[in-house]
Structure 1
Amino acid sequence: MQLETLGKNQEFKNLYRRGRSYVGKYVVLYVCRRQDERKRVGFTVGRKIGAAVARNRIRRRLKEIYRLLYPQLQEGYDVVIVARMRARDVPYRVLADEVEALVHKAGLLVKEEAGAPWRRG
């Protein structure tokens, strides 16, 4: 499954300016309603977090977390997930639980299945 992503810098800027933010210990979630029914996502991992290897590792983790949550998310939203400095040293499951909690707090979950995908079996 190919995720539809935000690509242009202007799209990120608009979302930061017009969207609502939900702040966690490891990530910040920005959410903005769309006119159509598309779901788009962007990931931001700043240089302060570390070398490219560390940033790419965090980005891969965030993409996988979003991919697993994708079927449960409402249509018609743009989402940007921004990694905070502390995200570098946190285990995957802790990061995943926080992203799920922020998505839930933002009201983006359509249905709650039997727990998050990373908690099943």
Structure 2
Amino acid sequence: MSDKHIISARPGFIRARNHGEKAISKGVIIQAVRHDNSHWRYGLTATKKIGNAVIRNRVRRRLRAIAKQVLAPLAMSGVDYVLIGRATTATSQWAELINEVEKSLRYLHRKLGDAEKQG
């Protein structure tokens, strides 16, 4: 994951929300949008809605591990990914969470490929 780049500024998150594709699963929401650079980037979000600081930190740690283990090998260059934690992200079985993310990424890559073909 040495070529990773992190989305740290709000406009990157807003762009993914407004112009990207979204995949929703029980444990995590993933938004993906194309950008002009050749590398892929990712951002993490865990809002106060999902719980207190301890739970939000646990969710962020799990999302970072998912980015390293699942997203890094499957990420498409030129795409921004935003991983949004849900209330069940902290308590879901790890294998189940990994499967959901892999399935969501396959869906998003198909959607992004279709959007690229349309124009």
The aligned residue for residue 19 of structure 1 is 20
The aligned residue for residue 59 of structure 1 is 60
Q: How does 1:18-97 map to 2 (within 5 A)?
A: 18-69=19-70, 70-97=72-99
Alignment size in residue pairs: 108
Which is helix-richer, 1 or 2?
A: 2
Deviation of 1:105 after TM superposition, in Å, equals: 1.2
Percent identity of paired positions between Structure 1 and Structure 2? 29
- Secondary structure, in 3 states, of the residue corresponding to 1:106? helix
Distance 1:87 1:53 in 2: 13
8 Å contact from structure 1 (residues 49, 88) kept in 2: no
Question: Structure 1, residues 55-75: CA drift from partner, whole Å, max 9, x if none?
Answer: 111111111111122023221
User: TM-score normalised to the size of structure 1?
Assistant: 0.81
**Structure 1 regions of 5+ residues with no counterpart?**
109-121
- The reply to whether residue 105 of structure 1 matches residue 101 of structure 2 is no
User: TM-score normalised to the size of structure 2?
Assistant: 0.82
The aligned residue for residue 7 of structure 2 is 6
Paired AA for residue 53 in structure 1: V
